[in-house]
Amino acid sequence: MARELRVYERPSLERPVLIGAFRGWNDGGQAATLAAGYLAKLWGARKFADIDPELFVDFQATRPNVSLDEGHTRRIDWPENAFFRARIPGADRDAVLLVGVEPNYRWRAFTELIGGLSSDLGVEMVITLGALLADVPHTRPSPVTGAATDPKLVDELGLQLSRYEGPTGVVGVLLDACRRAGIPSVSLWAAVPHYVSLAPSPRAARALCERLANVLAISIDVTELEEAEESYVEQVSQAVASDSDTAAYVEELEQRADSLDWLEESGELPSGEALAAEIARFLRERERNGGGGPSGPTG
């Protein structure tokens, strides 16, 4: 294993699944890393390995933090891509949680390290969590799309066949590395309101956890995220109400969301191909207009 991958202990795992999330372009509203961090806390995960950031991270773009240890000793906390192990409660399998930051350099080498460790640990599936900025209201449930490149997984798990074309983040490169390593992979993406992209979104994080639970056929307690979600919606609503133009825009988004819900209930949704074409058109327009942040499902 390359020296950049630092393994502190070799865990013995049962039918492991790797769940990964990265801060940065793939993490609108910090929803993906919030979800992964929540799972690590909920499942009592223990760190067993990490990737040395020295050759992968631009420390001027992603700076280390200085903190005081017990109020006296200064400590530098470097940008981290860390692996944690945990037993999934109520399931007959383990989880490897990868929580980190999108690297600035050597993406192929970085993702090959993850793929190599996954193969070495016998990981049966890699699931990446992402969040994209979209025209969705903060007052409605966060939509989540699930995609895979393997038609068998698409059928088994009720996912979509990935047809995305365009710029990608490290998540897309990781999924390609998994494909080449022969590891089945799934990409889950939650939509986050673009007008409140800087605030962490527990609503989108909860939606990711619930979709993950569906994919793995497990139960995930999202009570804490639900409580945080109530405060999130209240605070954002107060901020939106202070500007009449933004309030009108959010009301329009709510009407669109409610209309889509009605169409889904009535069975009158457009075809999957029509939806895919519309999403692709929307992403191309955002790219031409220089839209920042994650503008679409890149896995």
Structural domain count, the chain: 1
In a domain, 114, yes or no: yes
In a domain, 265, yes or no: no
- Residue 233: which domain range? 5-242+272-288
> What's the CATH code of the domain at 121?
3.40.50.10900
In a domain, 78, yes or no: yes
pTM of the predicted model as reported, rounded to 2 decimal places: 0.84
Q: pLDDT tens digits for the chain (299 residues)?
A: 578 999 999 999 999 999 999 999 889 999 999 999 999 999 999 999 999 999 999 999 999 999 887 777 788 989 999 999 999 999 999 999 999 999 999 999 999 999 999 999 999 999 999 998 888 899 888 989 888 878 888 888 888 777 777 888 999 999 999 988 889 999 999 999 988 888 899 999 999 999 999 999 999 999 999 999 999 999 999 988 998 888 888 888 888 888 766 445 444 444 444 444 444 555 455 556 554 444 444 45
In a domain, 260, yes or no: no
In a domain, 299, yes or no: no
In a domain, 252, yes or no: no
In a domain, 284, yes or no: yes
In a domain, 257, yes or no: no
Task: Write a three-state SS string for the chain.
Answer: CCCCEEECCCCCCCCCEEEEEEECCCEHHHHHHHHHHHHHHHCCCEEEEEECHHHCCCCCCCCCEEEEECCCEEEEECCCEEEEEEECCCCCCEEEEEEEECCCCCHHHHHHHHHHHHHHHCCCEEEEEEEEEECCCCCCCCCEEEEECCHHHHHHHCCEECCCCCCCCHHHHHHHHHHHHCCCEEEEEEEEEHHHCCCCCHHHHHHHHHHHHHHHCCCCCCHHHHHHHHHHHHHHHHHHHCCHHHHHHHHHHHHHHHHHHHHHHHCCCCCHHHHHHHHHHHHHHHHHCCCCCCCCCCC
